[in-house]
Structure 1
């Protein structure tokens, strides 16, 4: 009996020793056991830019819906012939990567992340939630990251919650509260982050303007009267600047190996009609020199009809958007001025809506390298460009649509909200002449979070591309 007990003890000690040895062997001596706020911040900025500017949510979907780009082959997305597996990356990476990592920063003790890290993380999380609700509608918000099967919140609840989150983010941001590293956008400049927060607040105020005008006015006043100010120059535009491969702009990487996109005929025709000097920035001349002018690809064609337009006879998007270092613009000075114009037109804030509108167009020209005062003045004085106070949605909506070129997710949202310009679905599209009003929920939600998904669909409407979202009432 004693001998048996001795063997048992010896075996247990041996196992313990092996376990300790294996633990030591499996440790990565170069890895940190605790995630660091600067690295998480750098990662979320890069991955957020890729998500916003990449193929799945931008040039292979929303840029097609708003007819900025068109497909010249593999035209299924341009015909809206898609499924609930088509729009998973915004949802999956938005929740599992961006929001998860940003929540980690927010929950860090002060010794690991000062309040500026937390304010930045809260503002970026708010931007991520905003992209999600703008695209899908009702989404997990309050319970996101808290439960395995989180309940969905309505779009109204998300928007109003984000206004509160951004108010909190603003209170956390203070240059006296410590420095920030790992910030690839504003290089730790807290004053610029505070302006970004206020610009997001103004953006959300207009999102809810048709549904909740009283709250929208209050939010617009708070955003514009905050002492920190708004994005006020091109140097304060929120953008992620890429470098070279493998840290290159996603569109640049795509065009290195593929040739299936053109600038949309709708955009080219609009820019020609307005004698718009942004056309050579937005488009390349066809490779067939005999064509001699910019030619857009039509949206919503069958594969054969799209191909027959001629690869060499149609214009690719401009090289401004297709170089390795092309920036991912996320919140521009131009957009902020357009938002001020609309807020003034609605009577939410004081100010000259027409002047804000002119300044917004000028800022867009400057963003794309057009600075000649005579060129800008000539453009602004055209009857077709002049501000129409009796239909500010048309003036602002049309010019904002142009200025948002390349920013598919936000261009899609603002086009649905303002309903300008008037777009027509292509001849081979599959939604009975309609253009999508939202993205499908990922199919995995039905299997992994079925009860919450079903409750959201019952409240919002069928999980279809044509179901209008809460903010989209016109």
Structure 2
């Protein structure tokens, strides 16, 4: 996790536009072609990609996973093909081009650490793309500048996953042997040990996600049984999350000045019901009380917080009902336009992958026998994943919340023995029931983490998401390819659709989403 005061870095142009005649006198010194310090390329790539992922989790990802309800996006009629490049992360290819530049320059200069970092970041971006779309341009896109390819071919998701696992393995090796100091790393402040942990934790995500297609046992055991060679996250201090800053607007949380917070997007009834059933105090972080229950009275007084109501809404019903009777998304993501008193420029973080996610992956792996330890080890991982969620969220609560009308201090977000002894939480029951509990807790933990909760729902089928009466009658399994692909890369687009089985639609399952 980045703990770094922001240092202004040069924003670099993506390409150079000049004729051969003017090559020497019309050279842009800010172009990647002229970069001498590879670290100059990292800040904008990291910030822009993480912000887009974070924003997309609010706009679409957490709506598809039924963690958020949206007037605009919940009926899936607005999952339009033209929107793909923005809402559905096709813009990752812009950042991948810059990372390819980092890799090429690093190879020329023998900079193993920079190359390793770029390969981990690029793998995370490709993973998001292939999980949203299925077959995607991969190796051609990764080497487009070197090979002069302008119309990259699509590869199967199986091939993409194999390539990403190989790249992450190589990155771990590079980062363990590189010697140069790293600048421009606003995620981990140049810590190669942290990047190695991210690389191997991301490998665990990929291995579990494709586990219905490829047995992950050998690869997972290799990582878990040799943490010296393959380190993974050991606490939330290690997790891949961009910490926002309050002093420079360009580095605030992207939600801080947004006009959306608390208006057209709410938490869902399904999330509120799960949290209420378990008396789960994460409710007070993930949601705000309904405006009707927390409004000031005629005398200017608010009700006691014990009288506040938390209520979710339904997706797929058309227009959401009266906004006063449903809960906006929680305080860490609150907009200053909605609540100047509660908004905070840096409370929420842009999470790429959390420590708790790794623990839930390991819990499932142990319960299924992919790694050793059986149910005993699975329970330990499971409990660590839940406890870390409470600890992490409590650590993000701004100081003023204890004195605000919410009366919410970090000590409020706890889980005592009573919580863990509940039937809905305790690691008891059949193996299938234990796996369901892991999946539910993982789903809750992935609130506003890009498209990860949606991907996990597609993989596990947990929780069962209700389908509303307005819309296509199902929750999408993937996204359309962008309209530009049909226009400028038509032949390769057609190959991608063929790899999908012939249909570029919302209900086609991607490769790992085995029916």
> By the TM > 0.5 criterion, same fold?
yes
Match status 1:418 vs 2:418:
no
Distance 1:62 1:32, change over 3 A: closer
Q: CA deviation at 1:182?
A: 0.8
State the alpha-carbon separation in 1 of the partners of residues 481 and 457 from structure 2: 21
Deviations 1:375-396 (A, max 9, x none): 3322111111122452143111
SS of 2:91's partner is: helix
- Partner residue in 2 for 1:132: 129
Following superposition of structure 1 onto structure 2, how do residues 368-447 of structure 1 map, counting pairs within 5 Å? Answer: 368-369=393-394, 375-387=415-427, 388-391=429-432, 392-428=434-470, 430-432=471-473, 434-447=474-487
- Please tell me whether the aligned partners of residues 175 and 190 of structure 1 are also in contact (alpha carbons under 8 angstroms): no
Q: CA deviation at 1:405?
A: 0.9
State the alpha-carbon separation in 2 of the partners of residues 270 and 49 from structure 1: 28
Match status 1:460 vs 2:459:
no
Structure 1 residue ranges without an equivalent (≥5)? 1-18
Distance 1:426 1:283, change over 3 A: same
Of 327, 344, 355 in structure 1, the residue corresponding to residue 366 of structure 2 is 344
- Partner residue in 1 for 2:310: 294
Match status 1:68 vs 2:109:
no
Following superposition of structure 1 onto structure 2, how do residues 18-33 of structure 1 map, counting pairs within 5 Å? Answer: none
Q: CA deviation at 1:251?
A: 2.4
State the alpha-carbon separation in 2 of the partners of residues 253 and 109 from structure 1: 37
Following superposition of structure 1 onto structure 2, how do residues 85-100 of structure 1 map, counting pairs within 5 Å? Answer: 85-89=82-86, 90-95=88-93, 97-100=94-97
Q: CA deviation at 1:31?
A: 7.8
State the alpha-carbon separation in 1 of the partners of residues 112 and 506 from structure 2: 40
- Please tell me whether the aligned partners of residues 283 and 316 of structure 1 are also in contact (alpha carbons under 8 angstroms): yes
- Partner residue in 1 for 2:77: 81
Q: Which has the higher helix share?
A: 1
Structure 2 residue ranges without an equivalent (≥5)? 1-20, 296-306, 335-343, 395-409
Q: CA deviation at 1:286?
A: 1.8
- Partner residue in 2 for 1:199: 201
Deviations 1:115-152 (A, max 9, x none): 10100000111111100011100011121142211111
- Partner residue in 2 for 1:353: 378
Q: CA deviation at 1:86?
A: 2.0
Aligned residues: 440
SS of 2:43's partner is: helix
Match status 1:324 vs 2:345:
yes
Distance 1:340 1:379, change over 3 A: same
Deviations 1:75-120 (A, max 9, x none): 3x2101032112212454211x211011111111557562101000
Match status 1:246 vs 2:259:
no
Deviations 1:156-192 (A, max 9, x none): 1111111111111011103651111111111111111
Larger radius of gyration: 1
Of 182, 186, 189 in structure 1, the residue corresponding to residue 188 of structure 2 is 186
- Partner residue in 1 for 2:98: 101
State the alpha-carbon separation in 2 of the partners of residues 176 and 148 from structure 1: 32
TM-score, length basis structure 2 = 0.80
